[in-house]
Amino acid sequence: MLPALRDAGQPPLTKEEVVATRPETTLAPHFDAPSEVRPGEVREQRASIEGASLLMVDSEPSGAAVSVNGRAEGTTPLSVTLDCVTDAPVTVKLTRRGFSPLEHTLSCRQDTMTQLFGKLRKGKSGAKP
């Protein structure tokens, strides 16, 4: 019997069965110990991963709106897959009502996870919640 026909006539797999048989990959990059971040500053760390360029953004306080190269991506904490050219500039902007906007530009790298942590400074409003 052909392998493709082995399960012919059987009911289709349930969503739970499909999820249970799907291989899972856990990313466990190694970052240096976090350093002190003062209000109005951003800490950038990088780790090698294979097959993707990822950007992870977090902030204090959390819930800041994140834009990447002018495009709204969501709120912190946030992970975004970057489609980039090596060394191309990537501008990340964090805004939150009641805080001054915070902007950071990094160089995109292939097969790299970049982690940004921004500590927002109380001040002028940056965005609506």
Full domain range(s) for residue 63: 40-124
User: Do the beta carbons of residue 100 and residue 61 sit within 8 Å?
Assistant: no
Reported as a single tens digit per residue, the pLDDT across 22-81 is: 555 555 566 666 678 888 888 888 888 888 899 999 999 999 999 999 999 999 999 999
Residue 3 DSSP code: G
Q: Residue 86 falls within a domain, yes or no?
A: yes
pLDDT at 100 over 50: yes
Domain count, the chain: 1
Residues 88-99 have a mean pLDDT of 96
Q: Residue 54 falls within a domain, yes or no?
A: yes
By three-state DSSP, how is residue 126 classified?
A: coil
Q: Residue 8 falls within a domain, yes or no?
A: no
Q: Alpha helix (H) ranges present in 40-129?
A: none
CATH number assigned to the domain comprising residue 106 = 2.60.40
User: Tokens representing 63?
Assistant: 């819930």
CA distance 109 to 88: 8
pLDDT at 2 over 60: no
Q: What is the pLDDT of residue 58?
A: 96
Q: Alpha helix (H) ranges present in the chain?
A: 15-21
Q: Residue 112 falls within a domain, yes or no?
A: yes
Find how far residue 50's CA is from the centre of its chain: 15
pTM above 0.75, yes or no: no
